[in-house]
Structure 1
């Protein structure tokens, strides 16, 4: 290498991951300040006229994208998919409802907000409250800008009769969560309104109650012509029913509204190549699973039908809400989002049912948005995650984006100039620390802690995972979209070394280093703008996997340490995640 190179200036064998991070730290303030500056967009850039837009979010629970449930929702198609843009490369970065939902509102990966489980002490509303996440998150930023924030339905697990207070941002407006232990019971739901008395219901379908209440809230908001609003509507369909009996948790299939019980009688879970495969090449606990027998496959199909049936009331809810928005004169100035917290597998890789794995069935989820300035009937392959959502809302509202957010805005608008210098997302981490379980079974495993890096770019779509057992997986999803064959042992070390380096950055990244991980590994990087001005695109350094694969970096990446877990614990502990030096004598 030339002596002018930063890589040559420091002996490669002596470079540690901590030194790389330190070398990049001086650039973080610049990244952060430009991130905020570039996101102070004028209202006219996205079709607004001095009035802030409204935001209405339909947030379902455990809805798949890979098993085609969206194709069985004709009203969602008519009112949102056909009228907006669907993002096919949209992900949750932790496939479990509590950490996923907290990332959605905080704009942080789970290793930063540290809500990493469904129950205390490492998850649930108890952990959310103790972490004081609501001091600095999307609802409070919107409230500071004059928004009225409203929520009805499921928030996260652990909202209970003794812990039902509204989080900041909702406490001065409308907060109506479902209350444990009746969050997941379709005909016996319990709500609490604005920290007040509990409101139990018997014999009326949960989604229909949410629909009626939502109409009343919308009508109340329509009377207030001065304040824009955020309104989140979150039914629990198509989640299983959950019952707590004698200290144990029991899962049963979701229950549809009675009017939908006879639908989809012949429907079966899609028989993708990953469905109950004959050859099992997975690692950790998944690799030891036996093939599903005929009775188990029949049960899976029955659950699949119940999930589709339970979503039909949500489909009707969508139509009713959008028609009321139009009736109230609110529709033209409202961004409407349809998404879920995490995906769901049924029969995938011999797994019975549930979530919590790094595979596409659990992480690749629906995200559709319609509203001013958004293309209609479009499918976009832009990469985004729940962590991108707060920056997206703030950008659409013409509000500043806090520098600590872990992701840029999703490029939802047709006018891409609005996004300034925001770089497209290529790489992000998928992370998990809790035990595995399969719903509708008694199966559990304590070997489900892992961290993955996902890379999606021009011509490549990759998943690389390091498990707490020491095992590793690598999939090329362009060639193998259903992740049937683990090709880790067949893959060149030159590529795997790049993925290890990225994973080492993303596993602890914060703010700017999450948004631009390559500049942590290559602190000598020029900015795209500086490079284009002085040298041309090809001289700009490393900003993508394609750039990093230049052969001149082979030795550099080969000498970087590898990521590993100390042991399989079921919570996030930074000291349990470390690097293994390539050279034992440093």
Structure 2
């Protein structure tokens, strides 16, 4: 059964169970009122989800939004180790709303043929993502702001995004025009808001949906998604009004990136703010891998412009700060705040001048993948910072769990095929997760990287085509690594315990790596990280959160430290297949990505004599 628009406004739970999900059924069970997320006499909680665009964690943006600090950070938990798995808008958003990694959604870019709203539709995901599941579980669903890239004034109704009782979407090619936004409400035609600030327009739409949701809350709980475009660059482009096959014919000067445009009332703020001068800010020595390692140092004029770009981002975020304040205040006035979970995150991170990079994202550095996640709600510890590892693919199962949906004993993999696991929210879960939760993040990217600042050299380009890579981020109290393999088979490794700013690629030809890591020869750690990435680069479902179980099905390895036992040396160093690409591609084409981890029943096998090594 397919749900679109206002359909299912009065959906009964029994009908939800009978209909099932498009890729599995949703069960609440007879005892669902006793599950986490049920409060106030058995009422299921409401959920508000604020999703910004390109917001950083590592350039201190959270220090410039005092109202969000007051309402969310001080009254909830900040998840310090939250990651997007693909550092670009549309793939990150699709992973967030489906609970699946980009190699399993095959939405890997912002535009067709490899991404964007048309690819989301083509992959059948319009019938298998969070709002559809929430409606089937008896929730009213509302959304306003940016949903996906390449969701345009031409294709917004072919088909309409499914799963929303009411919606008011930003549409391309006007999505990133701060003073010329076009929104499209329910089944109405698109409407231009020329001359009005896009976040101010969004604020009124969000409050209107909140009032509508509150009028039915005694019968049905609600989910409200709010997605401001800030602090993304301001973009004026013809890119989304031409057929995909003609994208490469658009002159560069017809895709104009400028710093974000704040509301006039905020334009004077933070006059002295500068990009934090961390050790990786425009470093004297080149670093990284691939095209990044060949970047020249930024000129003084370039640095000055990038500081201006940074200030404009901070100013643009002030409207988001006010938006969140308005929503929280109205929830309180309506008597709904105590039974509402509020999520605040962004699609991906951002860099400005780190590693000599112009403003942008799409890299595997911490600036691009480690992003804000704040959650406030019933039972969530107040004013705390958690270091458990979480990712965007964890958020859909988290929200369904709060909604009372039975995810199954393994976190929901059987029903939904989630590649993530629900985020621990109460104090007991958070304490337990410190020792039991996985320690890794799958990181992946395809295609090109684009810079968004001004060009200061005649030989500078906006597009770097060889930006396809797979990587794994591993974090524990003892160790912290980032390991990557690029599509031209260059390797990259950072030990973030000793090199937190990722300046020293230990696998570059010019590097002088240590002889030992974690008390064992350096090469043995690399062999384990490569095997871990080999599983994760094509994992599905539970294997994405429990990859060591695929390598060691007897269950005797739970983490990197366990895998370093010398009894496994021969397996990892001589038997296990290595990560390698056959060629570079702009999208997910398995044939280009070298050998894949294959499953036979419940056990994964790849080039190893399991009876000897497990």
345-354 or 210-219: which moved more?
210-219
- 2:94 aligned to which of 79, 102, 110: 102
User: Deviation of residue 162 (structure 1)?
Assistant: 2.0
Matched, 1:281 2:294: no
Q: Which residue of 2 aligns with 1:268?
A: 274
- 1:370 aligned to which of 376, 398, 406: 376
Q: How far apart, in 2, do the equivalents of 1:168 and 1:423 lie?
A: 36
Q: How far apart, in 2, do the equivalents of 1:459 and 1:391 lie?
A: 29
Q: Which residue of 2 aligns with 1:168?
A: 162
- 1:455 aligned to which of 474, 497, 504: 474
Q: How far apart, in 1, do the equivalents of 2:255 and 2:88 lie?
A: 16
RMSD: 2.4
131-140 or 111-120: which moved more?
131-140
Q: How far apart, in 2, do the equivalents of 1:431 and 1:413 lie?
A: 30
Matched, 1:561 2:577: yes
User: Deviation of residue 443 (structure 1)?
Assistant: 2.2
Gaps of 5+ in 2: 1-23, 239-249, 456-460, 515-521, 597-605, 609-614
Q: Which residue of 2 aligns with 1:550?
A: 565
- Report if the CA contact (8 A) 1:434-1:448 is conserved: yes
User: Deviation of residue 45 (structure 1)?
Assistant: 4.1
Q: Which residue of 2 aligns with 1:522?
A: 552
Alignment deviations for residues 77-123 of structure 1 (CA, whole Å, 9 cap, x no partner): 00000000000000000000000000000000000001000111101
Q: Which residue of 1 aligns with 2:13?
A: none
- 2:524 aligned to which of 484, 487, 494: 494
Q: Which residue of 2 aligns with 1:78?
A: 70
Question: Residues 330, 37 of structure 1: CA spacing in aligned structure 2 closer, same or farther, 3 A cutoff?
Answer: closer
SS of residue matched to 1:339: strand
5 Å-filtered alignment, 1:302-317, equals 302-317=308-323
Q: How far apart, in 2, do the equivalents of 1:422 and 1:133 lie?
A: 34
- Report if the CA contact (8 A) 2:451-2:463 is conserved: yes
- 1:226 aligned to which of 173, 197, 219: 219
User: Deviation of residue 54 (structure 1)?
Assistant: 0.8
- 1:135 aligned to which of 102, 116, 127: 127
Q: Which residue of 1 aligns with 2:452?
A: 439
Q: List structure 1 segments (4+ residues) > 3 angstroms apart after TM superposition.
A: 35-38, 40-47, 245-248, 417-423, 579-583
- Report if the CA contact (8 A) 2:83-2:441 is conserved: no
- Report if the CA contact (8 A) 2:48-2:224 is conserved: yes
> Quick one: higher RCO (CA 8 Å, sep 6+), 1 or 2?
1
Q: How far apart, in 2, do the equivalents of 1:461 and 1:134 lie?
A: 37
Q: How many residues align?
A: 534
Alignment deviations for residues 195-228 of structure 1 (CA, whole Å, 9 cap, x no partner): 3111111221111111111111111111112111
Q: How far apart, in 1, do the equivalents of 2:207 and 2:542 lie?
A: 40
- 1:242 aligned to which of 223, 231, 235: 235
User: Deviation of residue 579 (structure 1)?
Assistant: 3.7
552-561 or 355-364: which moved more?
552-561
Q: Which residue of 1 aligns with 2:189?
A: 197
Q: How far apart, in 2, do the equivalents of 1:145 and 1:478 lie?
A: 44
User: Deviation of residue 238 (structure 1)?
Assistant: 0.4
Question: Residues 125, 46 of structure 1: CA spacing in aligned structure 2 closer, same or farther, 3 A cutoff?
Answer: closer
- Report if the CA contact (8 A) 1:46-1:415 is conserved: no
TM-score scaled by length of structure 2: 0.84
Q: How far apart, in 2, do the equivalents of 1:193 and 1:437 lie?
A: 31
Alignment deviations for residues 432-484 of structure 1 (CA, whole Å, 9 cap, x no partner): 01111111244211111000011112311110010112211111112111111
Matched, 1:424 2:415: no
Q: Which residue of 1 aligns with 2:493?
A: 474
User: Deviation of residue 287 (structure 1)?
Assistant: 0.6
Question: Residues 122, 519 of structure 1: CA spacing in aligned structure 2 closer, same or farther, 3 A cutoff?
Answer: same
Q: How far apart, in 1, do the equivalents of 2:607 and 2:215 lie?
A: 65
SS of residue matched to 2:307: helix
TM-score scaled by length of structure 1: 0.87
Q: How far apart, in 1, do the equivalents of 2:378 and 2:432 lie?
A: 16
Q: Which residue of 2 aligns with 1:67?
A: 59
